[in-house]
Amino acid sequence: MSQTSIAEDVVNELVRESTVCFLQLNSVDLAIQLTLEDYTIFRQIELTEYIDDLFNLKSNYGIPALSRFRELVNREMFWVVNEVCSEHNLVKRSKIIKQFIKVARMYISLHCISCVPFVSILKYVW
């Protein structure tokens, strides 16, 4: 099998085109996608996981889905903080915050159960 080499400028162009900026994402589509991913894990949580966690019970089953859901929510919150704080340009930073507010509003309209931490971060901005 022979390999074809791609010119350096073509590779750079492909990399540049494949990179997507947060501000380029549609807020409605983003909220829907996040909600679907959150719900996929949320629906796997067994009722006993809540009880075991609440009362610090050590069952054989444990709290695997609840732990995955917690990790997901923490990752999403870190993502919000990271996107906002890593932008040094104040105009772009304000646009990022505005974009997250749009996503949060859509989350609320979708009645997303996991959006509470996400929205609570942004309520201070509203």
End-to-end CA distance of the chain: 58
Over the chain (126 residues), what is each successive 10-residue block's mean pLDDT? 71 75 90 88 91 90 93 92 94 94 84 56 52
CA dihedral for 30, 112, 69, 42, sign (positive or negative): negative
> What is the domain partition of the chain in residue ranges?
24-122
What pLDDT, on the 0 to 100 scale, is given for residue 20? 78
Residues 6 or more apart whose Cβ sits within 8 Å of residue 33: none
What pLDDT, on the 0 to 100 scale, is given for residue 106? 86
What pLDDT, on the 0 to 100 scale, is given for residue 65? 94
Q: Give the architecture (CATH level 2) of 24-122.
A: Orthogonal Bundle (1.10)
Under 8 Å between Cβ of 97 and 103: no
What pLDDT, on the 0 to 100 scale, is given for residue 35? 87
Under 8 Å between Cβ of 107 and 35: yes
What pLDDT, on the 0 to 100 scale, is given for residue 41? 92
Task: For residues 7 and 125, give the distance between their C-alpha atoms in angstroms, rounded to a whole number.
Answer: 46
What pLDDT, on the 0 to 100 scale, is given for residue 122? 53
What pLDDT, on the 0 to 100 scale, is given for residue 117? 55
Q: pTM for this structure?
A: 0.70
| Strand (E) or helix (H) holding 3 | none
Residues 6 or more apart whose Cβ sits within 8 Å of residue 64: 49
What pLDDT, on the 0 to 100 scale, is given for residue 110? 75
- Tally the residues of the chain: 126
